Each structure stands twice: as C-alpha cells, then as structure tokens.
C-alpha cells in the first residue's frame, strides 16, 4: 500500500506514510472506513476480515487513542491484538529494537504497529520484517493513520472529500514538531485544500511553499478548519523554553476568537489537548470541535487500513 516499502520479498505491503500514498489510495481507505462506520452504526459488531490474524503494538512512546483504536479495530475485525509493554519487556534489559521486532515476527504475529520517538523507525522495522508494519507515529515525521481518520471525519462533516477543494486549513501552534500536521496537511493538499501554518518562528518548519501567519487573529476569520496542535514540550530543545503567556495571547483558540470563525468552520485537535494552552475551556467543549469524532472515526480508519493490509491474506 505504501511507497516507502523497499522489501522485495514481503508478501503484503506496509502502511508507513501519507507521502507514499496516492489520492486514489486515500479515497479507497476513506470509502472503506465510511462503510465500516455505517455498518457499525446499524449495530454490526462482528466483522470477519482479520479472523485468524493477530496484530501486536510496539510503542516506544505513550499513546491512548492510536494504540487503543488499533486494538479496537483489530478486535472488531475478528482478530487478536497483543499489547507489547516496553517497560516490562526485555527492552529494559537492553534488547535492541531490531531483535525485539524479529522476536515479534517469530512469535507469529501477522502485523506490527510501531510508534517511536525517532523519525524513520517504522520504515527501518519494515525493512527488517516480512510481515506488514504500520506507522503509528514516528518522531516529528508522520502519523498516517491519524490523517486517514481525519479525512473520514471531514468527509462526514462536509458531505464528501471533494468538498475540501479550495478550503483553507490553519494548523496552529507547534507545527514543526507535529507529525499529525505533516500527514494531515499532505493528505488535505491531495484534495485541493490549502494549509496555513500559524505559530511562533521556532515552531514553524522551514518550508517555502506554505503560507505562514504569526498570530491567530490574522487568519481566524478566513479559515474553514482550525487545526489546533499541542505544544510538544517533550520535543522542544532545552533552550526552547516556552513563554506560555505570550503563546496564549497570540495562538490560543479561545471563545472570543472562535466566535470570529466562519459559521460553517470547524475546529480539530488530534489530542491529547492541553486545555488552557492551545484552546480554552469553552472551545474544548464546543460543539464545533470535531475531536470526539476524530477519535471515533480513527477506529474505522484503522479497520480500513488493517483490512486492506491483511484482509485478503491467510493468518498464521
């Protein structure tokens, strides 16, 4: 499924990045996810596509939504899911990433879902293993399954993916450290939406092709989607101490700013949310905030991705 896959002997492909996908791939994944969403809403809970498959998570960074939704998606599809706990594993005794990944494959898992604090790790694991590898977020690089889920949410909200054409999307805050912003912005560009990066200079990536704003007030009334981002304190360099008051003054989406947004505009956030920093308490509970839908649709997106990777293949 993914252009980053370099292994020639792999029976099935990997799911590693949005940049390795085509618009047609994304349309297919979103359509399938939407189909799962409809069936789920009608009460269906037993889907068969992953029967006899077992998926394992290999997360070197914390997660609630991504890990749990991969687990939920696997189980809804009739598969088994194993949570690999790094802290209680032999990684704590010094076992390398490569050896750990090879052990998981030898244990007979059908696929491994990898999250890591360093860019490129899922891609490296994919080169080591024969089984499919899914990127659940690598450093500041990509978070492709989040982007598929967000497309499902936007297609639901605006009626179709075609409706995204011509829309303006402000990614607000710590864009430089956000793998979500990178994947979602790439995905939206395939459907004709334009990104604007809004944040202080140290939180904006060095790209020349994207409009930049240094204050949320400059753009808030013009955008169709305000995509709010968490300040990733864990990725800031020691010298990059955040002046929280100044940040809030210029970049927080508060009730006052939200009222200036277009009537049809929506607010998104991938979570976890720092209420009081990037959004205020009112916005965190606003009806226009799609964050709960993003989580719900994340399950259907991951069902679609897993089913595409493993659905036609015989499990172990």
| Measured distance CA(57)–CA(113) in Å, rounded | 5
Nearest residue to 310 via CA among 302, 40, 85, 115: 302
Per DSSP, the three-state class of 235 is: helix
Residue 144 interacts with ligand CP (CB under 6 A): yes or no: no
| Residue 143 beta carbon to ligand CP: minimum distance, rounded to whole angstroms | 6
Q: Which CA distances in Å does 83 have to 63, 86, 165?
A: 12, 9, 39
Is there binding between residue 66 and ligand CP (CB under 6 A)? yes
Cα-based distances in Å from 15 to 99, 154, 293: 21, 21, 23
* Residue 63 vs 254, nearer CB to ligand CP: 63
Counting Cβ atoms within 10 Å, is residue 248 exposed (0-12), middle (13-18) or buried (19+)? middle
Q: x/- contact string, 177-216, with ligand CP (CB under 6 A)? A: ----------------------------------------
Q: Give Cα separations from 205 to 45, 69, 199 (angstroms).
A: 42, 29, 10
Of these, 63, 124, 194, 254, which contacts ligand CP (CB under 6 A)? 63
CB of 69 to ligand CP, least distance (A): 8
What are the counts of helices (DSSP H) followed by strands (DSSP E) for the chain? 10, 9
Tell the smallest beta-carbon distance from residue 64 to ligand CP (Å).
Answer: 4
**65 sits near ligand CP (criterion: CB under 6 A):** yes
Both tokens assigned to 65? 């939504």
Q: Which residue, 223 or 268, is less far from ligand CP as judged by CB? A: 268
Site string for ligand CP, 70-99 (x = CB under 6 A): ------------------------------
Residue 64 as a binder of ligand CP (CB under 6 A): the answer is yes
Which residue, 61 or 218, is less far from ligand CP as judged by CB?
61
Closest CA to 291 of 309, 314, 273: 273
Assign 154 to helix, strand or coil. helix
Smallest distance, ligand CP to C-beta of residue 92, A: 22
Q: In which element (H, E) is residue 208 found?
A: none
Rounded Cα gap, residues 84 and 216, in angstroms = 41
| Eight-class DSSP state of 18 | S
Region binding ligand CP by CB under 6 A among candidate stretches 154-162, 199-207, 268-276, 282-290:
268-276
C-alpha closest to that of 143 among 162, 167, 171: 171
Using CB under 6 A, count the residues that bind ligand CP.
Answer: 10
Chain residues 12-41 in contact with ligand CP, contact rule CB under 6 A: none
Considering only 28, 78, 271, 315, the residue that binds ligand CP (CB under 6 A) is: 271
Shortest CB 169 distance to ligand CP, Å: 17
Residue 112 or 213: which CB sits closer to ligand CP?
Answer: 112
Binding piece for ligand CP, criterion CB under 6 A, among 166-174, 217-225, 245-253, 264-272: 264-272
Indicate the SS3 state at residue 291.
helix
Task: Note whether 296 binds ligand CP by CB under 6 A.
Answer: no
User: Which positions touch ligand CP (CB under 6 A)?
Assistant: 63-66, 137, 143, 146, 270-272
């Amino acid at each position: 499924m993914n252009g980053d896959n370099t292994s020639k002997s792999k029976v099935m492909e990997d799911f590693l990045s949005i940049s390795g996908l085509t618009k047609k791939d994304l349309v297919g994944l979103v359509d399938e996810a939407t189909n799962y969403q409809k069936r789920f809403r009608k009460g269906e809970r037993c889907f068969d596509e992953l029967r006899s498959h077992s998926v394992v998570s290999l997360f070197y960074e914390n997660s609630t939504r991504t890990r749990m939704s991969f687990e939920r998606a696997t189980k809804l599809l009739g598969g088994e899911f194993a949570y690999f706990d790094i802290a209680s594993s032999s990684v704590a005794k010094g076992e390398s990433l490569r050896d750990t990944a090879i052990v998981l494959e030898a244990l007979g898992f059908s696929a491994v879902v990898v999250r890591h604090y360093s860019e490129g790790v899922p891609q490296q694991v994919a080169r080591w293993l024969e089984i499919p590898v899914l990127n659940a977020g690598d450093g500041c690089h990509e978070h492709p399954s989040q982007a598929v889920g967000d497309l499902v949410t936007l297609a639901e909200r605006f009626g179709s993916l075609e409706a995204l054409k011509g829309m303006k999307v402000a990614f607000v805050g710590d864009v430089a450290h956000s793998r979500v912003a990178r994947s979602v912005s790439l995905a939206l560009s395939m459907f004709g939406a334009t990104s604007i990066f809004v944040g202080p200079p140290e939180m904006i990536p060095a790209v020349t092709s994207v409009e930049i704003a240094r204050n949320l007030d400059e753009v808030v009334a013009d955008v169709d989607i305000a995509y709010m981002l968490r300040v990733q304190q864990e990725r800031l360099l020691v010298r990059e101490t955040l002046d929280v008051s100044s940040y809030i003054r210029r970049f927080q989406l508060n009730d006052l700013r939200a009222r200036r947004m277009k009537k049809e505009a929506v607010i998104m956030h991938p979570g976890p949310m720092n209420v009081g920093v990037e959004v205020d308490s009112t916005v965190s509970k606003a009806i226009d905030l799609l964050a709960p839908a993003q989580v719900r649709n994340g399950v259907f997106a991951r069902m679609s991705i897993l089913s595409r990777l493993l659905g036609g293949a015989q499990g172990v």
